[in-house]
Chain A
Amino acid sequence: MLDATTRFFEEIDRRGYEPRLAKTAGKLRLDLHEGPQTTHWLLHIDHGRIQVSQEDREADTVIGTSPALFEDIAAGREHGIAAILRGDMTVAGDARLLVQVERIFPGDPESRGPRRRFQREVR
């Protein structure tokens, strides 16, 4: 069920390095709460090098949300910053780290990007 979330973290783990986090260092833990159960993902970022684990360890930044919302964020259907402003995702600790990590979340899959006119139709 939680395909996009797992894929998102596995993909980060596989790459091992993320240039957009080259200036970032710290541990960020994601707590996904569902009833009595909490799933954890821990990112250990050291100037772009990233280790992913599912340990429940202390972190500089802890973000908390539901598995369903994070699934949408990991798929680009929901936006991380908006979710925080809305209170649907919470941050404890160093908010800077979250703002940096948020940038590696995927964009909206339905976005088309710039609309170039290189070969415009003749009217």
Chain B
Amino acid sequence: MAASGTIRILDGNTFVVSEDTGDIEATPSEPTGLFSLDTRFLSTWVLKVNDERLNALSYDDLQYYEARFFLVPGMATHYIDAKLSIIRERAVGGSFREQITILNHDEKAVDLEIRMDAGSDFADLFQVKDEILNKKGEIYSEVEPDRLRLGYRRGNFVRETVISSSAPARYDSQGFAYTIHLEPNEQWETRIDVETLAVGPGGRDLRIGVRAHGTERLALQHDLEKWIREAPKLNSQHEDLASTYRRSLVDLAALRFSPLSLGGATLPAAGLPWFMTMFGRDSILTCLQTLPFTPALSKTTLRILASLQGTRFDDFRDEDPGRILHEMRYGETAAFEEQPHSPYYGSVDATPLFVVLLDEYERWTGDVALVKELEQESRAALRWVDEYADLVGNGYIWYERRNTDTGLENQCWKDSWDSISYSDGRLPPFPRATCEVQGYAYDAKVRAARLAREFWNDPAYADQLEREAAELKQRFNQDFWVDDGEYFALALDPDGRQCDVLSSNIGHLLWSGIVDHDRAEKIAGHLVGPRLFSGWGVRTLAEGEIRYNPIGYHNGTIWPFDNSFIAWGLRRYGFSEEAATIASGILDAATYFDGRLPEAFGGYHRDLTKFPVEYPTACSPQAWSTGTPLLLLRTMLGLEPHEGHLSVDPRLPIGMGRIEVLDIPGRWGRVDAFARGRLDLHRLTD
């Protein structure tokens, strides 16, 4: 159930966002609709009986791909004494299908006029989000005897919505209608099919042959059951934890996405509704979170990102040889190069993280073949780090967009325009080097050294990478350390000046291992200290900074995914109580969202609001929020591949009770992990 009152169902990158009646009446502020391939295919879908709108008694979102609405005539303000009920059942799976059933409870026969208003603005997802509507092409509507065809044409770019009904309907350019007669206790039904077409000049759909699974309801259901069956089982005394885990698995299933170029294999898309597409950073981080539970996602993610790795310089797309993509889109603005996402490469973390994921994947699965298969891509990624990302010539990864119109200013995960600042609130010039990305580069080199030595038969390269990593670590601990505050600066400007604010990014540094051991305790202290830790989680920016705002997108909100990596980092450096404090705060927050963590929630102190305040336009479900409970479980249970085995070293807070995770897949086959809450966290949070 979505907090905003909209109902969302989805399959891959086809999804429907509607009101709780099932109706769609899109406006810039209520971006409902049927979407596919980053295009809106229905912006109006309103059911009326005898010219009257319907009122929702209840609805169920049964599975991620289907929903059911129980309706009666008349608006909510009327006294409802309905003699008629209307049930709308819908599912997506490639196309969109809706079954309408009308029941007459009256002792008299009734004559009804049933009408569906249907229309589409064919808005690109970017236009919906940015509230721009100035279509350059032509919208048309063709009425055929047995169907209604809504279309949009701009040159050879054609998108069509084709609507047909099992019960004979009268079609007009703005919808379709039925005249029916129902005897007492009689019912009537019709099935409506809505196909979304992306037609090329040969009449061929762009998406032919890319389905991951059958699109019929039964196939979707079998696929979901198989997905759940293959994942480890979680048993817990803590009921909320068990339901959060299940919610995460189902949402991950929903967020799987088949890119056009991978022949049906799936990787996690970033999130509903705006990000049902391939994102380098989001897909990789989600895979890192979910590796112990759903390792197959990592293999396909690595392969698809490798197959689209940059090969040339393209300033519009911020592409360089070796660079891993940021975002792929299929809509009109990408097609006509009004947006650069075909694909866009403007992120600096996806490339080192690609190497990090490959190593972590091998440590869990023992899939040496993939490590060998992706040797050249890994080397190209590391070459990008050294040759093309070091814009200042001092051994760090920097970013400065070359596409100054539509490229991203901040090419790190905090990618909003004002996310990187000095402590006086000013924004630094470009290029910028954010701290966490240097950590990823360090980790990538250390991990690639292992791959080079063990699998690529290149010990000299391994030595070189280890030497470079050690030098980077030493340099980083000098240049980024803020002496006054005793933490690492958020970023450096091109003159080497520090963006000396206290931020959550320092937690990622622990995860990467770039922090000198004698400084780790200070960092851990900040992360669970009062300026960063709200009681629910770690704020993106510390309270007391000039730009701090508890609902500032990257300047004070709490991002669950961020916290999961912070907890992992704390655990890596031995701060298991601090890690458990963050893990239990975030898992507590999840219970307020029915186990579905949003992208971000407010940085208000826990005592002040008593419940986590969802960030207004946060995306949900979002892949790396969905992956968060899984990584927190891994962290608390201390699951770590070690010399071909799975080691388990649990550090659970007392309130967590007993947890068992059964059938954890990996190079060891399947292994169980058991844990019991023994940590008293009050010492830390008081």
- A residues near B (Cβ < 8 Å) are 19-20, 22-23, 64, 76, 79, 81-82, 84-88, 90-92, 94-96, 98-100, 103-108, 110-118, 120
Q: Is B168 an interface residue (CB 8 A)?
A: no
Question: Contact between A85 and B335 (Cβ–Cβ < 8 Å)?
Answer: yes
CB distance from B385 to the nearest CB of A (A): 12
**In the complex, per-residue mask of B191-235: 1 if CB is within 8 Å of any chain A CB, else 0:** 000000001111010100110000000000000000000000000
Could you write out 26 A-B pairs with CB less than 8 Å apart? A20-B311, A79-B314, A81-B342, A82-B335, A84-B206, A86-B156, A90-B200, A95-B260, A96-B261, A96-B263, A99-B260, A99-B261, A99-B307, A105-B312, A107-B313, A107-B319, A110-B315, A111-B314, A112-B402, A113-B402, A114-B313, A114-B320, A116-B392, A117-B392, A118-B392, A120-B494
CB distance from B72 to the nearest CB of A (A): 44
Question: Contact between A95 and B342 (Cβ–Cβ < 8 Å)?
Answer: no
**In the complex, per-residue mask of B316-356: 1 if CB is within 8 Å of any chain A CB, else 0:** 11011000000000110011110000110000000000000
Q: Is B373 an interface residue (CB 8 A)?
A: yes
Beyond A82-B335, A95-B261, A107-B313, whether A114 also contacts B200 by CB under 8 A is no
Which of A85, A103, A104: most chain B Cβ within 10 A? A85
B interface SS class: loop
Partner of B315, one of A81, A86, A91, A111: A111
Chain B contact-residue range equals 35 or more
Beyond A82-B342, A85-B342, A117-B391, whether A96 also contacts B262 by CB under 8 A is yes
A interface SS class: loop
Question: Contact between A111 and B316 (Cβ–Cβ < 8 Å)?
Answer: yes
Task: Give the distance in Å from the alpha carbon of A106 to the alpha carbon of B402 in the complex.
Answer: 18
CB distance from B510 to the nearest CB of A (A): 30
Beyond A85-B335, A88-B156, A117-B391, whether A23 also contacts B373 by CB under 8 A is yes
Chain B residues closer than 8 Å to A107, beta-carbon distance: 311-314, 319
CB distance from B138 to the nearest CB of A (A): 14
Question: Contact between B334 and A85 (Cβ–Cβ < 8 Å)?
Answer: yes
Question: Contact between B402 and A115 (Cβ–Cβ < 8 Å)?
Answer: yes
Beyond A86-B156, A87-B155, whether A95 also contacts B393 by CB under 8 A is no
Beyond A79-B342, A95-B260, A99-B261, whether A115 also contacts B312 by CB under 8 A is no
Q: Is B376 an interface residue (CB 8 A)?
A: yes
CB distance from A12 to the nearest CB of B (A): 14
Question: Contact between B376 and A19 (Cβ–Cβ < 8 Å)?
Answer: yes
Task: Give the distance in Å from the alpha carbon of A64 to the alpha carbon of B331 in the complex.
Answer: 21
CB distance from A87 to the nearest CB of B (A): 3
CB distance from B144 to the nearest CB of A (A): 22
Interface residues of B in 631-655 (CB under 8 A from A): none
Chain B residues closer than 8 Å to A64, beta-carbon distance: 201-202
Q: Is B409 an interface residue (CB 8 A)?
A: no
Question: Contact between B311 and A86 (Cβ–Cβ < 8 Å)?
Answer: no
Q: Is B388 an interface residue (CB 8 A)?
A: yes
Q: Which residue of B lies closest to A19 (CB)?
A: B376
